[in-house]
Amino acid sequence: MNKPPERRMGSRLDKVFSIYITGPWGTSFGIARNISEGGMFIETPDPYPLGSKMEITFSFPQSDAEMTAMAEVIHLCFLDRTPAGDPRRVMVGMGVRFTGFSPEEKEQDTENLMVQNLN
């Protein structure tokens, strides 16, 4: 079976870390499964609908610097990760695209911080 070509551009940090989501439905907690300069995948039991806008606050695992990004939901995911005969295990989440950073982050040169942490 042929694997489809990778459409993502740039480096990805394949780490697991906590994030906070703030949007039209309040504030919630999520788990970032990976991150790139353009966005991230967020595991959450209650993903936002496609096209929803939100703020995501997070710190890179190896850094104390906290940042807040504005993002938009571009992908929804429901993965059944259950081996045959085992109790059911699912992963629910959303892929988001970064649309900008908070004004405070721009002063701290967030883009350079992300590039440093992704390489």
- pLDDT of 97 reads 96
Q: Which CATH architecture has domain 12-110?
A: Beta Barrel (2.40)
Q: What is the mean pLDDT of residues 14-33?
A: 90
- pLDDT of 78 reads 87
Give the pTM.
0.73
Contacts of 114 (CB under 8 A, 6+ apart): 35, 37, 67
Other Cβ atoms less than 10 A from the Cβ of 71: the count is 25
Asked if residue 58 lies in contact with residue 113, where contact means CB atoms within 8 angstroms, the answer is no
Region at 109 (left for phi over 0; alpha for psi -120 to 50; beta for the rest) = left
Task: For residue 89, name the pLDDT band (cuts at 50, 70, 90).
Answer: confident
